[in-house]
Structure 1
Amino acid sequence: MEKKKVLFFIYQMGAGGAARTLLNIINNLDRTKFTPILVTLNYNGSYEEYIKSDVTFIKLDTKRLRSAIFPLAKVIREEKAAIVFSTIPNYNTIAILANLFSFTGAKNIVREAAYLGGSPSENMKLLAYGMLYKLSSKVIALSEGVKENIIKRYKIKPKKIKVIYNPVDLDSIKKNIEHEEVANEHQAIFKEEDAKIIITAGRLVKDKDHETLIRAFAKVNERITAKLVILGEGELEEDLKRTAYNQNVLDKVHFIGFQQNPYIYFKQADVFVLSSKREGFGHVLAEALATGVPVVSTNCKPGAQEVLNYGEFGRMCEVGNAEEMAAKINEILNLNEEQTAQIIDKGLGRANEFNAKKIVKQYEEAFNQTIDQIEK
């Protein structure tokens, strides 16, 4: 069977979840059936070094998304791509337009990862995206909740949408834990024997609601000796430090920025906490489970509910409720060794359901279905 070329388009292979998902798909794609091509704008991304050497990697000569349409169209044409795969609404729009201007038989598959909309202006924008999405062959939703939102907000027919959860590269996570160490400048954080380590990871933006986590941590710290480790970068770092100062815990909250290998940090923690207001999937929850750390998460719709199966695989609390979050964290930290081991084993089993090797098979099936439509 002739191998088919799948062109993946994203703005950069940076630190975000979308880039990590594309990396996991590309690296695990069956090379006997598909040839992956990765196209980005002219940025350097932190995940580039992890791309397998056999991947054709092309950077367009522009850093402006709007300017990418015709250069991307040229790549689609020259590479003779069968499928153009993209993720995130703005980039999906560019990929669809570029494919139209490529004047080829390539088909678009767009992935929607976020639970968007709510305000009238946002809903109008999503209707506009939906008009373009209707030109694609298939829409991938990363959870059932995201699918329902696409039907409601984008007005896309259900039969066009396929739900595929995010792939988690368990082999890579295991390798990162076994062969790497916490950076030297951070090792002292984890060496205080009596201190419990609470950890989180995510961009320092409003939707991640680290403020509620810090307030919850302050309540936990009234009862036990603990430290809060925050992985991630963002515009709210100074505001969050002020919150920690006002809560009298600034010396116990450690902002350590983006880490290429967050898993070795997760492994050192006693509990991982996700404080988000909303999540399309909650990829970091699945990764935390895979490292063998108990998790506490807000009941953020729709993703966290689905990853944790409404509390079966981790404690859940109300969004924005620092009191309840603190109570759930304390529950985990006060479990005995046997109870903790049971939770960890259960979490590892759940993480295996998101194994990249399994999930990528579902993507391959979607690619094949789309290619069959082309050939018919």
Structure 2
Amino acid sequence: MSGSFTRVSEKSIFSEPERPCMKNKLLIIQYSLAGGGAEKVLCDILNRIDYDRFDVTLLLFQKYGVYLPAVPEKVRIKVFDPAEMTFGWKLLFNRWTAKLVPSGLWTRLKLHKALGLCGKYDCIVSFMEGWSVAVHSNLRSRARRNVTWVHIDMLANHYSSGFFKNEAAETEAYDRMDEIVFVSEQAREAFFKLFAREYPARVIYNLIEKDDIIRKSSESCPVEKRRKYVLCNVGRLAPQKRQDRLIRVVARLWHDYGLDVEAWIVGEGELEADLRRLAKDLKVDDRVVFCGFQTNPYPLIKNADIFVLTSDAEGLPVVVSEALCLGKPIVATRITGPTELLAEDAGLLTSMDEKEIALKIKALLDDCALRSHYEAMARRRSEIFCPDKSIEQIYAVISGENS
């Protein structure tokens, strides 16, 4: 059987020769580079890696995403896109996915051939849950060391289960890893509770480019402020993020408390039409601005009065980290991630009750001194972000130091 992935412009993934070098060979597996927090962090890591030390291959399942242009030229990109397969390879892929990533030797050999992954790697990293770690578990023999990242509270949002035949299959995939990296202590604790076992693991906070965030926040703001107060939310428009909760809070602040407030919702996703309809039904469609995806959301965060996160589940939300860097008062639901980031009085935590969220926001809007307090506390808390330290921690986990 033969076939090709016609969209790959770099080199054929079937015939690429190995580069003779003494660098550490690193393969990173990621579904795509769509506009999510984990994808943003991955691109920041790729732009921090020392390419005198590492030879990096990025395996994408679909070569698309707003962060794709940010990938450095020194990164070799391979693409495994079912949409671009020839008929024969598509039959194999469909048979493979129908079994939800079996672990048989023959299947692994076929997968290796399809991906053009000849040769060995010093380390393979699957950077997210679900697809990435499922495929990684079938490629583990190609590396001396295998590491996977977990970016979510799996007890609160076990979305990755849909990529495996059953819980035992997902457990088996993680059993094959040498180490698991969690983006927060609470994400680690939730994972161990869910799987009722412990794995070799460490916590590495997301790499946050604080200086870059502050610099970019000084660019012109793409949205003009129309109301006295602005609330800002950044994230994909998906069920987990619960922007519907924010829209209801805006309605309560305006209709019940008479606060002249508007919300800037930055992001795109499958729920946009539903959210627009909700804003209209609640008679606040003139107070909810859908800003779409923004390559540079920082001027929007900077020009808002309060950053609001209303999610049901997170791991360590990048947007909250970025709001801390910009010294924004933050109101966030009390979930994994914000609870850890907003420690030491760095922001206001709330239940998921819309009335409580509205009252926390109202308290900040009514008290300028209180807002100033939380601005100062946010800046102080942002000192935990040190990209030089973060990249050294990543080097350590790749090499297996201190494991």
- CA spacing shift, 1:117–1:125, aligned 2, 3 Å: farther
Matched residue type, 2:220: E
2:144 matched residue in structure 1: 106
1:209 matched residue in structure 2: 242
1:340 matched residue in structure 2: 371
1:150 matched residue in structure 2: 191
Write the distance in 1 (CA, Å) between the matches of 2:27 and 2:360: 44
Taking the TM superposition and a 5 Å limit, the aligned residue runs for 1:181-200 are 181-183=220-222, 186=223, 189-190=224-225, 192=226, 195-200=228-233
Greater shift, 163-172 or 49-58, is seen at: 49-58
Of 308, 318, 325, the residue aligned with 2:351 is: 318
Q: Is the 8 A contact 1:4 1:35 kept in 2?
A: yes
Pairwise CA distance, 1:58: 2.7
Taking the TM superposition and a 5 Å limit, the aligned residue runs for 1:71-82 are 74-78=115-119, 80-82=120-122
Write the distance in 2 (CA, Å) between the matches of 1:265 and 1:119: 28
SS at the partner of 2:152?
Answer: coil
Residue 312 (structure 2) pairs with residue 277 (structure 1): yes
Of 396, 399, 403, the residue aligned with 1:365 is: 396
Q: Is the 8 A contact 1:134 1:156 kept in 2?
A: no
Pairwise CA distance, 1:220: 1.7
Of 15, 21, 25, the residue aligned with 1:5 is: 25
Pairwise CA distance, 1:198: 0.6
SS at the partner of 2:28?
Answer: strand
Write the distance in 1 (CA, Å) between the matches of 2:307 and 2:389: 25
2:211 matched residue in structure 1: 171
1:52 matched residue in structure 2: 72
Write the distance in 1 (CA, Å) between the matches of 2:143 and 2:399: 15
Q: Is the 8 A contact 1:127 1:153 kept in 2?
A: no
Matched residue type, 1:57: I
SS at the partner of 1:28?
Answer: coil
Pairwise CA distance, 1:339: 4.3
- CA spacing shift, 1:307–1:125, aligned 2, 3 Å: farther
Matched residue type, 2:154: L
Write the distance in 1 (CA, Å) between the matches of 2:214 and 2:116: 36
SS at the partner of 1:279?
Answer: coil
Write the distance in 1 (CA, Å) between the matches of 2:147 and 2:326: 31
Of 42, 65, 79, the residue aligned with 1:22 is: 42
Residue 291 (structure 2) pairs with residue 252 (structure 1): no
Of 323, 326, 330, the residue aligned with 1:291 is: 326
Q: Is the 8 A contact 1:89 1:112 kept in 2?
A: no
Deviations along 1:208-251, one digit per CA (max 9) or x if unpaired, are 12222111111222322111111112222222222222222111
Corresponding residue pairs, total: 356
SS at the partner of 1:278?
Answer: coil
2:6 matched residue in structure 1: none
Q: Is the 8 A contact 2:63 2:81 kept in 1?
A: no
- CA spacing shift, 1:94–1:111, aligned 2, 3 Å: same
More helix by share: 1
Matched residue type, 2:236: R
SS at the partner of 1:9?
Answer: strand
Matched residue type, 1:285: V
1:307 matched residue in structure 2: 341
Pairwise CA distance, 1:4: 0.9
Q: Is the 8 A contact 1:130 1:156 kept in 2?
A: no
Pairwise CA distance, 1:74: 4.8
TM-score under structure 2 normalisation? Answer: 0.80
TM-score under structure 1 normalisation? Answer: 0.85
1:261 matched residue in structure 2: 296
Write the distance in 1 (CA, Å) between the matches of 2:191 and 2:333: 23
Deviations along 1:177-215, one digit per CA (max 9) or x if unpaired, are 23x3233xx3xx32x4x5211110112222212222111
Residue 264 (structure 2) pairs with residue 229 (structure 1): yes
Write the distance in 2 (CA, Å) between the matches of 1:156 and 1:111: 17
Residue 145 (structure 2) pairs with residue 116 (structure 1): no
Matched residue type, 1:216: V
Q: Is the 8 A contact 1:294 1:340 kept in 2?
A: yes
Deviations along 1:93-115, one digit per CA (max 9) or x if unpaired, are 10221333xxx343210111111
SS at the partner of 1:140?
Answer: strand
SS at the partner of 1:106?
Answer: strand
Q: Is the 8 A contact 1:60 1:72 kept in 2?
A: no
Write the distance in 2 (CA, Å) between the matches of 1:120 and 1:39: 24
Pairwise CA distance, 1:325: 0.5
Pairwise CA distance, 1:85: 0.5
Write the distance in 2 (CA, Å) between the matches of 1:143 and 1:54: 30
Question: Superposition RMSD on alpha carbons, in Å?
Answer: 2.8
